[in-house]
A and B are shown apart, each in its own frame.
Chain A
């Protein structure tokens, strides 16, 4: 390698700053981008591919077994159900990025919904204050986990397992002997969780935004890179991406609008995903999260405050868990002892993992919460339509989670052997 002459690269001043190395093949066209994508997949850099393949299989099977599954109104219901646990999964993504886990998100969400019932319905506290109070409690619990992890070195697996029981106890204590508090039907809060649908013009306008954002950002980056003598991607690939994204999203919305339409609650979930995606990929905080998840010692030596990163991740996770509980109380119009129990915990974690966030830390994306929860809810919804008992539902969901983790492990091994992280 060191013997290779470098004259042509050094001699030609016209060479782009990042194209000086003649050994590297670069994809410059749409075709090149597609073949580069296949190379990446072969090397184990799967991204969202497994989940999309999985989704297609699951939908094909369920649509074959019961045509109602793919009906617009069933999918709208699916999106309502996705939003509550999806928000919890979004928090799980944060802790998984660091290679940590929070097993108490289910109980945390249960406490969140119980607080809404107690504060808003029983005590008459204004709704916004009740929600703020619940989220604040979530932040406190999250910071306790972070302190246990960073100051006492307690594995998050154990501390959150303890938290799972303790919070479940708190939930039962809050709800008292009645065990269940009904939220008033007809209130805006319950409507938000059960009925509120975007008007058609809003639902058709919003899907235009991603395309416009990709286009303007892409063109700006292109101009910027050109001006400083860096290679810039082809306009063709950019336009291709924009057109595909817009057409796919508009088609989905058009289909949903044949039924009830796009739920506002799902819109809130997607908004949170987009915000988290921006935070994780475009901010210094997100970069630090990825670094700490990949190599905490290296991050520490680079001057990153690792403890603060742990704190932020655990706090965010618990806040999202509480918010998920608040949303689910709106969805169910009640705060009960059952809220957050059962499979909520595992569904949230499974969603993040199935969506492509690694259990081993340092790899993940906010989108994995969205994609993963759609898979999980599709299974739950499809099995319910088939009138299968919850015993079978648990077994099948468990199997899917196992497959997802196996795919994650295999892809990781493949990445290591192909020299990708």
Chain B
């Protein structure tokens, strides 16, 4: 499947690869036999309809959920993540869709949550400086990092969550709907940031419903449908192809092709 990737063989081994990962919640199979590879310096977009299993996959990679079966390889070694701290230790940072911020803590405390400098005597000044540096890199508009997160808008919270993921110099960043709550300028900033992160040689997994954003930054587009892999596309794939794979109008490359030809002929007939 990855052979559709624009630069398949030229890259070294993937940082992260999944092999036949499944996750069941009781009788529901949220993920079935998922295969996925992320290389260094690559942006992989994960798209799919609601309920396709994108967020479940991200949570499995973040250590929030443990896969029912299948294996995850990080830098070639098989890994099991029993909790979010395992994923963080490996270098997998996640920005969750629900952001997972503590509203009763201020911005600095949220960015450094679990990673505070100097555990027995918190170094507030150093943490505040680092927080401002991270936020300025994101061109963030946070009035004060000493405000509690409850007082911030949705976009500001998103920026805080992204800044937090960058704190640990991760190898892979997963962004679950990073631009959903953002304004035009902030969306552009986040996309710039994604590209900057890629240039630094990190892998990025990005979930988005916005095809424009996906196409703007992704190197590969992986489609999930009903918890299964449903094709890998390059960013210049047409909207019809993507939408077809997302909605299930087609199930494999062959039917996708025939479907496209049929569609093409149908539209040709209509136009004449």
Q: Which residues of A contact B (CB under 8 A)?
A: 1-2, 6, 17-18, 20-21, 23-24, 221, 224-225, 228, 230, 282-285, 287-288, 290-291, 293-295, 297-305, 362-363, 415-416, 418-421
Report yes or no: A295 in contact with B103, Cβ–Cβ below 8 A: yes
| Given A21-B143, A301-B94, A284 and B129 contact (CB-CB distance below 8 Å) | no
Q: How large is the interface on B (under 10, 10 to 19, 20 to 34, 35 or more residues)?
A: 35 or more
Report yes or no: A282 in contact with B103, Cβ–Cβ below 8 A: no
CA distance A290 to B114 in the complex (A): 12
Residues of chain B within 8 A of A298, CB atoms compared: 100-102, 113
Q: Is B191 an interface residue (CB 8 A)?
A: no
What per-residue 1/0 map shows which CB atoms of B164-193 lie under 8 Å from chain A? 100000000000000000011110000000
Residues of chain A within 8 A of B114, CB atoms compared: 288, 299, 302-304
Residues of chain A within 8 A of B126, CB atoms compared: 228
Q: Is B217 an interface residue (CB 8 A)?
A: no
State which of B12-20, B37-45, B115-123, B257-265 sits at the interface with chain A.
Answer: B115-123
Residues of chain A within 8 A of B119, CB atoms compared: 283-285
Report yes or no: A297 in contact with B100, Cβ–Cβ below 8 A: yes
The A-contacting residues of B in range 132-177, CB under 8 angstroms, are 132, 136, 141-146, 148-153, 164
The A-contacting residues of B in range 180-232, CB under 8 angstroms, are 183-186
Q: How far is the CB of A350 from chain B (nearest CB, A)?
A: 23
| Given A2-B184, A301-B94, A228 and B100 contact (CB-CB distance below 8 Å) | no
Report yes or no: B148 in contact with A420, Cβ–Cβ below 8 A: yes
Q: Is B85 an interface residue (CB 8 A)?
A: yes
| Given A17-B132, A284-B116, A288-B114, A421 and B141 contact (CB-CB distance below 8 Å) | no
What are some 27 contacts across the A-B interface (CB < 8 A)? A1-B153, A2-B183, A17-B132, A17-B136, A18-B144, A21-B141, A24-B143, A221-B124, A283-B121, A283-B122, A287-B105, A294-B102, A294-B104, A295-B102, A299-B102, A299-B114, A300-B83, A301-B64, A302-B113, A303-B88, A304-B85, A304-B113, A415-B150, A416-B150, A419-B152, A420-B150, A421-B149
Residues of chain B within 8 A of A418, CB atoms compared: 151
CA distance A230 to B101 in the complex (A): 25
In the complex, the chain A residue whose C-beta lies closest to that of B150 is A421
| Given A24-B144, A304-B114, A420 and B151 contact (CB-CB distance below 8 Å) | yes
Report yes or no: A301 in contact with B122, Cβ–Cβ below 8 A: no
Q: Is B62 an interface residue (CB 8 A)?
A: yes
Interface centre among A1, A291, A302, A418 (most CB of B within 10 A): A302
In the complex, the chain B residue whose C-beta lies closest to that of A24 is B143
Q: How far is the CB of B134 from chain A (nearest CB, A)?
A: 12
Q: Is B91 an interface residue (CB 8 A)?
A: no
Report yes or no: A301 in contact with B62, Cβ–Cβ below 8 A: yes
Report yes or no: A228 in contact with B143, Cβ–Cβ below 8 A: no
The A-contacting residues of B in range 59-108, CB under 8 angstroms, are 62, 64, 83-85, 88, 94, 96, 100-105
Residues of chain A within 8 A of B144, CB atoms compared: 18, 21, 24
Residues of chain A within 8 A of B241, CB atoms compared: none
Residues of chain B within 8 A of A293, CB atoms compared: 104
CA distance A303 to B88 in the complex (A): 7
Report yes or no: A283 in contact with B120, Cβ–Cβ below 8 A: yes
CA distance A18 to B120 in the complex (A): 25
Report yes or no: A18 in contact with B122, Cβ–Cβ below 8 A: no
CA distance A184 to B111 in the complex (A): 55
